[in-house]
Amino acid sequence: MLRNLNYMRTRWIWIGISLVITIAGLVSMAFRGLNYGLDFSSGTRLDLAFQQTVSTGQVRQALSDLGYGYAKVQVTGADSKEVIIVTKSLSTEDRRTLQSNLGTKVGQFEVRGMDDVGPEFSRELVNMTVWAVIIASLGMLIYITIRFEYRFATAGIIALLHDALILLGIFSLIGKEINIPFVAALLTMLGYSINDTIVVYDRIRENLRLRKKGEDLEALVNRSIGGVVWRSVGTSVTTLLAIAAVYVFGGSTTKDFALALLIGITSGTYSSIFIASPIWLMWRNADERKKLQARLQAKAHNQNKAQGKTPAKTPTKGGSTGPKGTPKAARAAR
The residues, any chain, with a CB within 8 Å of residue 280's CB and separated by 6 or more, are 151, 152, 155, 201, 204, 221
pLDDT in tens, 132-154: 888 888 888 898 899 888 999 99
pLDDT of residue 270: 93
The tens digit of pLDDT for each residue in 225-264 reads 998 988 888 999 999 999 999 999 877 668 888 999 999 9
Q: Is the pLDDT of residue 329 over 50?
A: no
* 205/226 Cα distance (integer angstroms): 14
pLDDT at residue 311 tops 60: no
DSSP 17-77: HHHHHHHHHHHHHHHT--EE-GGG--EEEEEEEESS---HHHHHHHHHHTT-TT-EEEEES
Candidates 86, 6, 21; CA nearest to 48 is 86
* The overall pTM is greater than 0.85: no
Task: Give the pLDDT score at 330.
Answer: 43
pLDDT band at residue 309, thresholds of 50, 70 and 90? low
What pLDDT score does 59 carry? 86
Are the C-beta atoms of residues 197 and 189 closer than 8 Å to each other? no
**To the nearest whole number, what is the mean pLDDT of the chain?**
84
pLDDT, residue 119, reads: 67
